[in-house]
Structure 1
């Protein structure tokens, strides 16, 4: 068996679950993203990892249909050849350059759209704000969507989140998200920082507590944003305001993020609730 046989086995497993990609797959034991055939151009809805050393094995996930699969070539054991290692390293560097180029283009597009977008004067000017019962803290309006600006650790604009009146959300294709965040309130003199998943949750927490809030956008980004926060505010108290997901994802991510930075975490008591739900219902944090 050579490395191409392993890649073919991974593609066959993906296809058996209705997931196909024309992207070149890299068997370097590192998590990668790929575009799925039939998905919108620029999206990377496949996450995969392929081990070629030892017992050849793989993992892939297709986010839109919540498909998660692992596989292996039972009974096979092998060691990468020097040629294969060079090939993998070449592909890795190529992918890294391509990712940086996409992120740079997305950041430029984010700045252009943000400058064209209009400030929102009050809650009643957008359906999502009305639905969530929050004020338009530092957000704008563009083509009927609420627009939220994301920053990197250097506070450079790098991405946008768009939310329509029904609450559907999307980011700029190719934009950087890991370790990036939106902010609500002023960071000046902040001795306490609250980190949460969604923007509406952050808006509710800021209004309720009067604290500086950093919005991570999803559970998987809580820990990366918490680590950035600790570097930016080394002496601040960090509180992770997680969601009470029925799957347990939000709770686990909040605990992990808090542990990583010596912080605290808060989870709503009600299953399926976030802090926007709690505050909107008249509850306390």
Structure 2
């Protein structure tokens, strides 16, 4: 079913009932993915108890696979929707709903900007006075076997700076067990961190998902690396990078997600998408995992052989 038909069906569903509201979010996410986010938010905004932050959080928490689009169709039919011959709403009703949706969209954007500004201020407050990262931090020296580069440290957490348009806007905190956290409400899309000499980026550089992956590739190639922090952000970072460096050779260092729970190699798919958009190249590690997994494995093998030879 086309998204437009589902949007029409939503007009027959009461968004003020929380159970129904959550079920609709899951059904839309399952059928259309992120394409349906705005439709869900616009429909939610027509409820008298609408809360922008709650709507955004509910959409983010919705998972694919648990509720199908048939559930949405069933609920809409209970409200009088005719799937094959939907009746158009009166013009005055449509106008009122569009006005509510516009108001809700403006409020959502205002809250997002407010949250981003708070996150950027927190990032500067925490990152600027922090000490350089300890090279013996277990995430660096034991788990990933990489140097500190641009990291700082706060307690037992490593702080990776995240920039956009050369401004510090967010932080990723990396804990000894590998857990990672962004500042709540902070901008992630388009955000990046630089490892290596930014002045050399006019020639060639890499773009990768994770910070440790970037550190490993930089050590192995001596090339600058942009860290995008997740697969979904590769495209945004790549597009901005291509604008800044129109003639550079850009290589996307993919994560080889062979065992992804979705059955889709997300890391490779997103890397290929980004490379295609900027006329770049893709480099895929020869094992399941990322380039840090592969290069660290080689380091461990070399150390093991060296120890055996020494013995």
1:187-222 CA-partner distances (Å, limit 9, x unpaired): 113211200000000000011101110001011111
Structure-1 residue corresponding to 2:309: none
1:166-193 CA-partner distances (Å, limit 9, x unpaired): 1010000000000111110111132112
More helix by share: 2
Structure-2 residue corresponding to 1:26: 41
Q: State how 1:4-43 maps to structure 2 within 5 Å.
A: 5-8=13-16, 11-12=19-20, 14=22, 26-27=41-42
Aligned residues, how many? Answer: 251
Q: State how 1:45-56 maps to structure 2 within 5 Å.
A: 46-47=58-59
- Normalised to the residue count of structure 1, the TM-score between the two structures is 0.79
Structure 2 residue 100 is the aligned partner of structure 1 residue 114:
no
Structure-2 residue corresponding to 1:237: 249
Supply the distance in 1 between the matched residues of 2:227 and 2:151 (Cα, whole angstroms): 13
Q: 1:9 to 1:70 in 2, by over 3 A?
A: farther
Contact 2:158 2:174 survives alignment (8 Å): yes
Q: 1:82 to 1:17 in 2, by over 3 A?
A: closer
Structure 2 residue runs without a partner (length 5+): 1-8, 27-39, 45-50, 75-81, 300-311
Structure 2 residue 255 is the aligned partner of structure 1 residue 274:
no
Contact 1:7 1:27 survives alignment (8 Å): no
Deviation (angstroms), 1:86: 1.2
- Choose which of 71, 77, 81 in structure 1 pairs with 2:94: 81
Supply the distance in 2 between the matched residues of 1:13 and 1:157 (Cα, whole angstroms): 37
Question: 3-12 vs 223-232, which deviates more?
Answer: 3-12
Q: State how 1:1-285 maps to structure 2 within 5 Å.
A: 3=11, 5-8=13-16, 11-12=19-20, 14=22, 26-27=41-42, 46-47=58-59, 61-62=62-63, 69-71=67-69, 72-73=72-73, 75-76=82-83, 77=86, 78=88, 81-122=94-135, 124=136, 126-130=137-141, 131-152=143-164, 154-190=165-201, 191-245=203-257, 246-247=259-260, 248-271=265-288, 273-282=289-298
Contact 2:52 2:108 survives alignment (8 Å): no
Deviation (angstroms), 1:234: 1.1
Supply the distance in 2 between the matched residues of 1:174 and 1:269 (Cα, whole angstroms): 36
Q: 1:45 to 1:193 in 2, by over 3 A?
A: farther
Supply the distance in 2 between the matched residues of 1:228 and 1:207 (Cα, whole angstroms): 24
Return the index of the structure with the highest Cα Rg. 2
Q: 1:68 to 1:201 in 2, by over 3 A?
A: farther
Q: 1:67 to 1:113 in 2, by over 3 A?
A: farther
Q: 1:167 to 1:177 in 2, by over 3 A?
A: same
Deviation (angstroms), 1:47: 3.0
CA root-mean-square deviation: 3.0
More strand by share: 1
Contact 1:34 1:47 survives alignment (8 Å): no
Contact 1:61 1:67 survives alignment (8 Å): no
Supply the distance in 2 between the matched residues of 1:5 and 1:61 (Cα, whole angstroms): 18
SS in 2 for 1:234: coil
Once superposed, which parts of structure 1, at least 4 consecutive aligned residues long, lie more than 6 Å away? none
